[in-house]
Structure 1
Amino acid sequence: MTAAADGGCTVGFWIWSGGVALLIGGLAFVLCFIPILVWQYRRFGRPSPARVVGAAAVGVYGAALVSYTMLPLPQTSPGWCSRLPDKTPQLVPFHFLEVVGRELSGGPPWGILSNFYALQVVFNVLLFVPWGIIMRRYFSRGFLVAVASGFLVSLTIEATQYTGIWGVYECAYRLADVDDLLMNTLGALLGALLAPLLLWWMPSRDGLAAGRNLPRPVTSRRRWFGMVLDGALFLVLAYLIIAATALSIWLAGFAAPGRLDSSIITGLLQPGGPGSPVAAEGFILAGLLVFYLPACFGSGASLGQRIVWLGPAGPRAPLLRRLWRASLGGGLLTAGAVLTALFADSPWIGPLQLLIVLVLGLSLVLVPFSRGNRGLSYALSGTELADARSTRQPDAAQGRPAEPSD
């Protein structure tokens, strides 16, 4: 049961909940945008714009389910449960027919179009129509799975309302209603029936995955995305290592060089602070794992380039050449981070940071102007860039390129 059904302002509540869903769902999509592209590259061999849009819709819809059925959360005070209207669960199936009939008794038939309880029933149906559509076409599930999962999700929502979010509140602040469960399930059923008609344009997961191993052109966007992934992986891994090290030092009761107290974790993230040597070690280890270790194995491509199915063309280059190529890209970023952590207060660190940023920026800018979109690091190391799948031999048994080893 939504808050509007509990006596709130219907139009105002629906608009407010819709705004919350757009905000939370949109934010979730932004945060998950890069992981979504990574997953699609690995699962389908390339991104699917239609399914990226679908992911955004799934995020907004998931947030809508929460906002319309759980929010706003009540502010509690002593004795607040006793002041709430009766929240005894409504367990009589189709009880809404009696309520709507009583409300419309003696009035014109078209009064149902503005009746609060009738609109609430319609809303409960419409709320789960997207569920059936999404499960059938976006997640490629069968009709029965789409309907059954809608039933289970609705049942979970009603149980959550009945238990006051599983004991978070000492009493139910929403009315659990069996009619909501029935109407939600009906909505999922209608959505599952309509899915092939409304979402026919959505490519299926199996169809996209069938072409996963087919080589594709090396585009500048693909090269850029691999470079962005390298930088993101380096920073995330570095700060995870730094935080884990700081937490270990703190829990063990040791003191790092200089001064470290209970704010050790945040202190290590401040360049030039007492924890700078530990921070520098974190950046060095992250650089080794993200840039240099991959250069020693397989094609020698960085992790980001491997994710987007890119790698050096031709025979495998000597180890020193692969390490040189890693140093021209990720090594420069690693060196900048390490020097900043150790010498943040030095007068020469500012110009050095500017130089590193300019070189990294130039690497991005030159990608579309370089031969085969290979970029600065590949050009300076004398290496061509290719789709990693184009260098594999076809699998005679399957009639398609074999799975890349990297």
Structure 2
Amino acid sequence: MSAYFYPIKMAILIFPFLALLISLPIFAYAYHKNGAFSKFRGLVIYTFIFYLLAAYFLVILPLPSRDYVAQLTTPRYNLHPLIFIQQFIATNTWQPLNIHTYRQGLLEPAIIQPLFNIVLTLPFGVYLRYFGRSWKRVLIYTFCLSLFFELTQLSGLYGIYPRPYRLFDVDDLLLNTLGGLVGFVIAPIILALFPTHAQIKLREQQAGARVSYTRRLVALILDWLSLQIFNGILLLLVGLSPIKITTQVTMLSFTLLILVVFWLIPLFNQGATLGKRIVRLRVQGLNGQKASAWQLFWRVFWQYLVPIPGFITAMTLLNGMLSTGYLNPNDVDRFWLLIGVILGAGALLALHMIINIIRRNPRLYYDYIAKTMVVSSFKA
């Protein structure tokens, strides 16, 4: 039995990292497709990947040494079906009418091995039925999964070993495929406890029609990541030119890129930045018409070109006042005025955000000034 538990322990140890790596592109695609992503869908995908990892590790682990495998003389494959029945009849001591033989007989390899092969793919059938697959597709997909496992064994783990260290067995193909069908049959009993795939999809579509601040935050993060990439490329090109990189050059390039990312791209992309395009959001006028160039510019101006330079200027002045290690008495009033302006502006912005989030109002101050609004590309 330890041969079965060891791979599961290994899967549990590496699962949080490997499963996350595999899941992220799937999460991103589902979020882009529906404009929202339910926690339950994430849980289903996450556990499905965990199951596949555990099943795969059960097939390949524990890994023997190459020297040990090179000395093996055991058969490489079995192409005779239903050999497991003959082995059960020949070796098992279980007697249905003798209760004292149950414990020992049911734990013998002739029982455990076939049962394991059925249980191995049983969850696969449950998951596939949840995903809306028919029994015919479950049959085909489970057979293909089992064939992948068996070919992995036959290849000596893709050529890493000089020969197979586990048997390619046609009985495993039959039992694994049976396990998938058993999972398909019992799936309604298990799935009755959870929302259906269609219900989850409907909720995501309804959520996708709303403009949430979480969605806007994802778009903002993606936009600023793209801006930083563009800024790095631009500064690299400037560095290769005769132009000397100064603070002024850096600020100028940063300002130009803000205009490109948040004004020019939406102007020619139906009101959507790169980040908004990914999460299916766009900026439009109040009456549903396309936002004009002036509206988009005015929006960017109050969203970025006023707050960011203003904050940088205030911090630069504060740094200059404190550059000597002490505060000049003549600068005390200006120092506290700047502190008050920074804290006051930050507090007002935070209060504005909190009120809008509570009221579920997607329009922020710059939308009111520019007479624009952020809308979803999805319709409920």
Asked if TM exceeds 0.5, the reply is yes
TM-superposed CA distance for 1:148, in Å, is 1.0
TM-superposed CA distance for 1:242, in Å, is 6.2
Which of 93, 97, 108 aligns to 2:81? It is 93
TM-superposed CA distance for 1:183, in Å, is 1.1
Look up the match of 2:117. Answer: 124
Query: Whole-Å Cα distance in 1 between the matches of residues 75 and 252 of structure 2?
Result: 58
TM-superposed CA distance for 1:152, in Å, is 1.2
Look up the match of 2:128. Answer: 135
Please tell me the residue identity of whatever aligns with 1:97: I
Please tell me the residue identity of whatever aligns with 2:176: N
Which of 47, 52, 56 aligns to 1:62? It is 52
8 A Cα contact 2:122 2:182, kept in partner: yes
Which of 173, 178, 185 aligns to 1:181? It is 173
Look up the match of 1:113. Answer: 106
- Please say if 1:296 is aligned against 2:254: no
TM-superposed CA distance for 1:23, in Å, is 4.3
Query: Whole-Å Cα distance in 2 between the matches of residues 373 and 114 of structure 1?
Result: 63
TM-superposed CA distance for 1:328, in Å, is 5.6
TM-superposed CA distance for 1:172, in Å, is 1.3
Please tell me the residue identity of whatever aligns with 2:265: P
TM-superposed CA distance for 1:302, in Å, is 3.1
Q: 1:69 to 1:18 in 2, by over 3 A?
A: same
Which of 323, 336, 339 aligns to 2:297? It is 323
Which structure has greater helix proportion? 2
8 A Cα contact 1:91 1:177, kept in partner: yes
TM-superposed CA distance for 1:64, in Å, is 1.6
8 A Cα contact 2:122 2:180, kept in partner: yes
Look up the match of 1:190. Answer: 182
Greater shift, 175-184 or 207-216, is seen at 207-216
Look up the match of 1:146. Answer: 138
TM-superposed CA distance for 1:169, in Å, is 2.5
Look up the match of 1:199. Answer: 191
Over the aligned positions, Cα root-mean-square deviation in angstroms equals: 4.7
Query: Whole-Å Cα distance in 1 between the matches of residues 251 and 88 of structure 2?
Result: 69
Look up the match of 2:355. Answer: 369
Query: Whole-Å Cα distance in 2 between the matches of residues 385 and 36 of structure 1?
Result: 30
Tell me the number of residue pairs that the alignment of Structure 1 and Structure 2 aligns: 338
Q: Secondary structure at the match of 1:170?
A: coil
Q: TM-score, normalised by structure 2?
A: 0.68
Q: Secondary structure at the match of 2:162?
A: coil
The 5 A counterparts of 1:351-366 are: none
Q: 1:156 to 1:73 in 2, by over 3 A?
A: same
Q: 1:42 to 1:86 in 2, by over 3 A?
A: same
Q: 1:210 to 1:231 in 2, by over 3 A?
A: closer
Which of 8, 23, 35 aligns to 1:18? It is 8
Look up the match of 2:315. Answer: none
Q: 1:66 to 1:118 in 2, by over 3 A?
A: same
- The one-character-per-residue Cα deviations of 1:332-385 (angstroms, maximum 9, x if unpaired) are 9999xxx9xxxxxxx88xx9xxx99x9999978853422644365645744454
8 A Cα contact 1:29 1:55, kept in partner: no
- Please say if 1:156 is aligned against 2:163: no
- Please say if 1:168 is aligned against 2:168: no
Structure 2 residue runs without a partner (length 5+) = 96-100, 313-318, 324-340
8 A Cα contact 2:30 2:37, kept in partner: yes
Query: Whole-Å Cα distance in 2 between the matches of residues 180 and 281 of structure 1?
Result: 66
Q: 1:157 to 1:237 in 2, by over 3 A?
A: farther
Q: 1:156 to 1:223 in 2, by over 3 A?
A: same
Higher relative contact order at CA 8 Å, sep ≥6: structure 1 or structure 2? Answer: 2
- Please say if 1:81 is aligned against 2:69: yes
Q: 1:67 to 1:284 in 2, by over 3 A?
A: farther
Q: 1:334 to 1:319 in 2, by over 3 A?
A: same
8 A Cα contact 2:117 2:176, kept in partner: yes
Query: Whole-Å Cα distance in 2 between the matches of residues 205 and 167 of structure 1?
Result: 43
Q: 1:216 to 1:110 in 2, by over 3 A?
A: same
Query: Whole-Å Cα distance in 2 between the matches of residues 151 and 92 of structure 1?
Result: 17
Q: 1:224 to 1:363 in 2, by over 3 A?
A: farther
8 A Cα contact 1:295 1:326, kept in partner: no
Q: Secondary structure at the match of 1:105?
A: coil
- Please say if 1:224 is aligned against 2:214: yes
- Please say if 1:314 is aligned against 2:307: no
TM-superposed CA distance for 1:56, in Å, is 1.2
Tell me which structure has the larger Cα radius of gyration.
2
Look up the match of 2:330. Answer: none
- The one-character-per-residue Cα deviations of 1:10-61 (angstroms, maximum 9, x if unpaired) are 23x4333223333444334534666445433443453333322211122112
8 A Cα contact 2:15 2:50, kept in partner: yes
Q: TM-score, normalised by structure 1?
A: 0.64
Query: Whole-Å Cα distance in 2 between the matches of residues 182 and 146 of structure 1?
Result: 13
